[in-house]
Amino acid sequence: MVDRVTPDEDSSAAAARVTRSQELVYELRIGEVMTCDPITVAPDCLLTELKEILRVRRISGVPVVDQGCLVGIFSIEDLIVALARGEIGARVGDLMTRQVVSVYADESVIQAVNKFARYGYGRLPVVDREGNLVGIITQGDVVRGLLRRLEVQWHEEEIHRYRASHIFEDIESDQTGLILRYRVAARDFVHGGEASSKVKRALERVGAAPPMVRRVAVATYEAETNLIIHADDGGHLTVEIQPDRIRVVAQDTGPGIPDIQQALQAGFSTAPDWIRELGFGAGMGLNNIRTCADEMNLESRVGVGTRLEAVFHLRERGAT
């Protein structure tokens, strides 16, 4: 039986993964990347003057503006046509292109990208909603704008990462610690493992070595699972991260373990059948925690509650 992903599913999955730069084309506003204060001319400007402006400023076209409002555009092609027809004595307003394709400053950059593609123009005047010219945008402006934004975001991410991983060096105190606390609901298998996943991510962020992250994650997962399976009202999972050690504490308010030595035996479990069918209750959880942790303490009183503590030393075995 061949049962593989069809090409359609595959490409839709690819389409869903829009790249960061594609996303930015939608996020960035034209006003953020355009060139402000563009060179403009008035309708009564002579073509001889315009020719000089294009030559001296090395540009290939200018928006024509009358009292702030965009009224036309005059490109080097229009000038060549005028020269060929011997109309060099005319004024800009007589021969300019009046049907101007423009974009709004508050629109997304994608609008400009689409218009560049559709009309093949090298530049588009940018206007506000009142029709006043506020800038000009070229394809170069779009590329520069994207690169600038990517660089800013990359830089922010770097700072963020640095700060997270140097938290213990940056903060001065006699004892600096980070405490993560999670409420774990009884019998909530749907959210089982979520607290552990969050702990894992937090440890990765503060720069713990991957093997240590794994050991703490496995122990935390087993402790979390025990709260879900056994605790009457669920419980709390607390992870204390210190420069020299990580302490995981799972605490609940009952039912309590009658015989701790028995509970610690591999394969011993009081989990009911329906929980075993889910793959839990193998009687391995506490053993896994003991194997992963450097120290494990289990205290319990029937009718009062259970407190499990697992400690991981970062200095001695930190690198392993």
Partner 1 sequence: MTLNEIVSALQLKVLAGRPDAQSAVTGGYAADLLSCVMARARAGSVWVTLQAHVNVVAVASLLGLAGVIITEGAQPDTATCQKAEAEGVVLLSTRETTFAVVAALARLGVEAA
68: which residues sit within 8 A by CB, 6+ positions away? Answer: 132, 133
Pairing of β 103-104 and β 123-127: parallel
Instruction: Give the x/- contact pattern for partner 1 in 153-192, rule: CB under 8 A.
Output: ------------------------------------xx-x
Q: Is 300 in the site for partner 1 (CB under 8 A)?
A: no
Nearer to partner 1, 225 or 251 (CB): 225
Q: Which is nearer to partner 1, 1 or 15 (CB)?
A: 1
Is 194 a binder of partner 1 (CB under 8 A)?
Answer: yes
Q: Which listed residue (291, 302, 316, 317) binds partner 1 by CB under 8 A?
A: 291
Query: Is 40 one of the binding residues for partner 1 (CB under 8 A)?
Result: no
Task: Provide the 10 A C-beta neighbour count for residue 309.
Answer: 19
- 310, β-bridge pairs: 248, 296
Q: Which residues of 189-221 are buried (b: 16+ CB within 10 A; e: fewer)?
A: eeebbebbeebbebbeebebeeebbebbbbbbb
Distances (CA, A) of 265 to 73, 75, 205, 216: 85, 86, 35, 21
Q: Which of 175, 228, 221 is nearest to 198 (CA)?
A: 221
Least distance from partner 1 to the Cβ atom of residue 33, Å: 33
Which of 116, 182, 280, 312 forms a contact with partner 1 (CB under 8 A)?
280
Q: Write out the binding residues for partner 1, residues 198-257 only, by CB under 8 A.
A: 200, 210, 214, 217-218, 221-222, 225
* Contact flag: residue 4 with partner 1 (CB under 8 A): yes
Please identify, among the stretches 67-75, 81-89, 144-152, 274-282, the one whose residues bind partner 1 according to the rule CB under 8 A: 274-282
End-to-end CA distance of the chain: 45
Size of residue set near partner 1 by CB under 8 A: 31
Largest CA distance in the chain: 107
- Residue number, 10 or 44, with CB nearest to partner 1: 10
Nearest approach in angstroms of CB 214 to partner 1 is 7
Tell me how far, at minimum, the Cβ of 266 lies from partner 1, in Å.
10
3-class SS shares of the chain: helix, strand, coil, % to 5: 45, 25, 30
The CA radius of gyration of the chain, in Å to the nearest whole number, is 34
CB-nearer residue toward partner 1: 146 or 286: 286
Distance between CA 187 and CA 62 in Å, rounded? Answer: 70
**53, 100, 284, 314: which one binds partner 1 (CB under 8 A):** 284
- Cβ closer to partner 1: 146 or 275? 275
In the bound complex, what is the minimum distance in angstroms from residue 9's beta carbon to partner 1? 8
Residues 163, 170: contact at Cβ < 8 Å?
A: yes
Q: How far is the CB of 102 from partner 1 (least distance, A)?
A: 42
Which region, judged by CB under 8 A, interacts with partner 1, from 48-56, 142-150, 157-165, 196-204?
A: 196-204
3 state DSSP class of 316: coil
Chain residues that interact with partner 1, rule: CB under 8 A = 1-5, 13, 189-190, 192-194, 196-197, 200, 210, 214, 217-218, 221-222, 225, 278-280, 282-285, 287-288, 291
